[in-house]
Structure 1
Amino acid sequence: MNMSSYRIMKKETKHATILLPKTINIPHSITHISFGTTVIPCKFTTTNTLTDTIAIPADLFDALHIPFETLSPIFFDEDTLHIGPLIGMFTAGLTNSSSEPIGARSSFFADLLSLHPTASYSFVFSVHSIKWSEGLINGLFYMDGKWQEYIVPFPHVVYDRLPNRKTENHLRIQRVKHRLQKEYMIPWFNPGFFNKWDIYQKLKTNKEINTYLPETALFTSFSRVETMLAEHQHLYIKPTNGSLGSRVYQIRYEREEEAYFCRFYQNNKKKLHKYRTLEQLVNHLFKDQQLRDFIVQQGISLLRFDQQSVDFRVHTNKDRSGNWKLSAIAAKVASRGSMTTHVTFGGEVKSLEELFSDPIHRAEMYTKISQAAISLSEAIDKVIDGYIGEIGFDIGIDKEYNVWLFEANSKPGRTIFNHPPLQKYNSLTKNLFLSYATYLTEQSLLRPVEIYS
């Protein structure tokens, strides 16, 4: 399927035929035009008076529910000219505010929707935006620095940006996802949050990438924690479904003092507690929590910058061919006395150039990290159900330059792109997001059996 971009124009005319520029060699078999899931029979003719513009009669333009004139990709299958792709970003928590219709996350979506002009047909919607009986959606578009609502057809593809696991598991959300995928045959990518233990279980049997995995176990007994502490310098206890460093505990056993030390955050403040026994530690810190909801993970002695621990946030995205590409690498430097590098707890974002002044050493680190991230992306893609278009990794490198996977995130944030030297990655990740959405659209039209089986 070939795809090019053209100016989509609404033409006030009595002429019922769509006018195409002579640069489009339209096959004789094309008898329909579509936008999203709306398909309408029509006639086409080419003209010398247009250059890179497709002129659509007003009544047909409106019947297709094309929201506005813009530059857009077009592509053909056996009998239809498709305008798009039309991409819907599914989320929750929409408000009536004209300036912040998605609440505190409005700026996040505004940035994500600020794509190249050829990707203007991307919008945000929620459960309440859908008009099932009409096959239409009240879509939120971000244009010229402001939010605007247009009625559009159901999209070619849906990008899942639900804010949290609780929302994702809501029955009404699940019903909408199932209906759009099964009844309307719409591909849905990045469909769920990763579970740390589930990912570890699925990857540890892969001999090609299991060397990246720190020893990890479910928190099932004190003896297992004692054994792991004896083997490693320190441990982390993490929730299987946590994010942003929430409810993470670092434990060390100091033989000289015969005591356990635990670092953690409480109300965004650093805490360091001392305990005589592990049982005392657990009973105090986990008395209101289910231990089975936590994993115990080997601690790693990380590279340091300015005497502070460093790990790396790495983004990978699928491209126009459905292949994994490295799209961003950022270093995160822990604040003094901190057990994590999360920006929320005072961590500082730096580029590789700022971290590694020697270009040869920097290139070596880039290669080591990128190779690991691509291998991990491919491995996760094979064991997770559904379509994955992007992954955010927290990756560590120890003092012997071994690479370690700390966490994989199916819905990575974009705060690292606020750091000026990393803003170049912002456009790349957004363009790759569009590329993969286009790939999925094409595959759903050309190979529906493979996509929906």
Structure 2
Amino acid sequence: MSALPTTKGLRTSLAILTMPDLDNGFRGNRSNFIDLIAKGKELGAFVFVVTTDDLRKATKRIYGHVYQPESELWVRQLLPMPQVIYSRIPTRTDEQLPEVQTLIADFARKRGVSLFNPYFFNKWALFEWLNTDKATRHFIPATRRLASPKELVAFIQSHPMTYLKPVRGKAGKGIMRLETYVPGQKYWCKLSIQDNKRSIVTNHLNIAKLWTRIKQETGEEDYIIQQGIPLAESMGRPFDLRVLVQKNQAGRWLLTGIGARVAGVKSITTHVPRGGHIDSPERALLSSFGERRGLLIFRKVSHAALVIAKRIEKESGFKLGEMSLDLGVDQNGRIWFFEANSRPMKFDEPDIRELSLTRIIEYSHYLSRPRPAQTGKKSGGS
């Protein structure tokens, strides 16, 4: 039997919450977890993995998965209840299970344990939150729920390029783009559907045929309609900015880093899994706006991200320690908000990656310090 982990001298115990797996113990990105465990050891935190099943059965002690770097093995051990829980539940489907919803709600209120980033965000809720505040509403493209053919026609009459996005989508999956043709063309509109690293294009004569095709793609899933933004371009291709903001050891939001994502040749999005590629934001902005104006826009993007993050956290009613934001810059230099993610994917830029791990541990130290209990309202993120 393996020895119990040594926690002497460590200030904080942090559990990474994920889903159980019958064959492998737990699900999730193990290399990501291992990186965070190593950073915790470096910065004075004991980090381990816990599943929803084990957390639900816990009282004062809890079964958790401890990584042993010497043998490169994970060992399930009985441990004290953690001070902080960091939710990395992999999917929305997992999170929406009734037993998981109950567990999250219970621990969000629990004294002595701080749970942060409890829910995925809901796109529609995000736009409602940001649209009702004067500090953030000017970042928001025109956005409506996709409810009927009549409402879709009314929207595209004002916006010749429109995006259709799943309310609970991730990494560009399920996104469609709709473009209306100028008078005199044979077809009324063109629909582009994102499919892995390319897009499937269909032309439509009227709203009836278009609506039939859209419903084939959306099924029962909720969608929003959003004004298309003519993005600034780097080397002839549209790009947007992926921004990571996190809290530090004082519980304050800070910019961790910004990366540029450039659209693929046949892709309607800039997501890397959908054919996009990574660029430096400085180079992309310089390519579009020149050095002086590009630097000014970079600073404005940093400020916008922090303003937006604070608003989202306030409206969610729960503790948030990090989020990634998709922000666009149009061809006139205006900044737009497209999406926020409460479970940021790993940034490939090494400097952003390293600082992101540090900030998670720093914020966990902050949460582990005793403070008065706080109550929150129901999130729109589940």
2:280 paired residue among 351, 354, 359: 351
Partners of 1:133 and 1:194 lie apart in 2 by 27
The change in CA–CA distance for 1:181 and 1:312 in structure 2 (over 3 A counts) is closer
Look up the match of 2:322.
390
Q: Provide the residue aligned with 2:255 in structure 1.
A: 326
Query: Aligned letter for 1:67?
Result: P
Confirm or deny: 8 A CA contact 2:318 2:376 kept in the other structure.
Answer: no
Question: Structure 2 residue aligned with 1:137, among 62, 66, 90?
Answer: 62
Provide the rounded CA distance (Å) in 1 between the counterparts of 2:89 and 2:22.
15
- Any gaps of 5 or more consecutive residues in structure 2? 378-382
- What aligned pairs does 1:35-434 form with structure 2 within 5 A after superposition? 67-68=5-6, 72=10, 84-94=11-21, 96-97=23-24, 102-103=26-27, 105-115=29-39, 117-130=42-55, 132=57, 135-144=60-69, 146-149=72-75, 150-182=77-109, 185-255=112-182, 256-257=184-185, 258-266=187-195, 269-287=198-216, 289-290=218-219, 293-357=222-286, 359-414=291-346, 416-417=347-348, 422-434=349-361
Tell me how far apart the structure 2 counterparts of residues 88 and 262 of structure 1 sit (CA, whole Å): 45
Q: CA deviation at 1:224?
A: 2.5
Residues 222, 278 of structure 1: 8 Å contact kept = yes
Cα pair distance change 1:119/1:362, threshold 3 Å: farther
Q: TM-score, normalising length from structure 1?
A: 0.75
Cα separation, 1, equivalents of 2:106 and 2:220: 36
Contact 1:352–1:362 (8 Å) recurs in 2: no
Distance 1:316-1:68 versus aligned 2 partners, 3 A rule: same
Verify the 8 A CA contact 2:18 2:27 in the aligned structure 1: no
Shift of the 69–397 alpha-carbon distance from structure 1 to 2, 3 Å rule, reads same
Name the amino acid aligned to 2:274: F
CA contact (8 A) 1:220 1:292 kept: no
Change over 3 Å in CA distance of 1:349–1:307 after alignment to 2: same
Q: How many Å separate the matches in 2 of 1:300 and 1:198?
A: 21
Aligned-partner SS, 2:90: coil
Q: Report if aligned partners of 2:282, 2:295 keep a CA contact under 8 Å in 1.
A: no
Shift of 1:362: 4.1
| CA contact 2:233–2:284 (8 Å) conserved in 1 | no
Distance apart, 1:293 and its partner CA: 0.8
Task: Name the count of aligned residue pairs.
Answer: 367
SS in 2 for 1:300: coil
The aligned amino acid for 1:125 is V
Say if 1:262 and 1:272, in contact at 8 Å, map to a contact too: yes
SS of the aligned residue for 1:449 comes to: coil
| Alpha-carbon distance between aligned partners in 1 of 2:129 and 2:114, rounded to the nearest angstrom | 24
Deviation of the 1:322 alpha carbon: 1.4
Residue 365 of structure 1 deviates from its aligned partner by: 2.6
Distance between the aligned counterparts of 1:450 and 1:183, measured in 2? 10
Alignment check: 8 A CA contact 1:219 1:292 kept:
no
- Secondary structure of the equivalent of 1:360? helix
Structure having greater relative contact order (Cα 8 Å, sep ≥ 6): 2
TM-score (structure 2 length as normaliser): 0.88
Letter in 1 for 2:297: M
1:154-205: CA deviations, max 9, x gaps? Answer: 1001111111111111122233334444455422110101111111112211
Per the alignment, in what secondary structure is the counterpart of residue 448 of structure 1? coil
**Once the two structures are aligned, what percentage of the paired residues are identical?**
25
**Who is 2:362 aligned against?**
435
Counterparts in 2 of 1:362 and 1:112: CA distance versus 1, 3 Å: farther
Kindly state the Cα deviation for residue 425 of structure 1 after the two structures are TM-superposed: 1.0
Q: Is the radius of gyration larger for structure 1 or structure 2?
A: 1
The answer to whether the 8 A contact 2:86-2:115 is kept is yes
SS in 1 for 2:361: helix
Aligned partners of 2:230, 2:217: CA distance in 1, in Å? Answer: 30
Change (3 A) 1:297 1:253: same
Rounded to whole Å, the distance in 2 between the matches of 1:297 and 1:247 is: 14
Match of 1:79 in 2: none
In the superposition, relative to structure 1, how do residues 204 and 131 fare at CA in structure 2: closer, same or farther (>3 Å)? closer
CA distance in 2, matches of 1:148, 1:318: 29
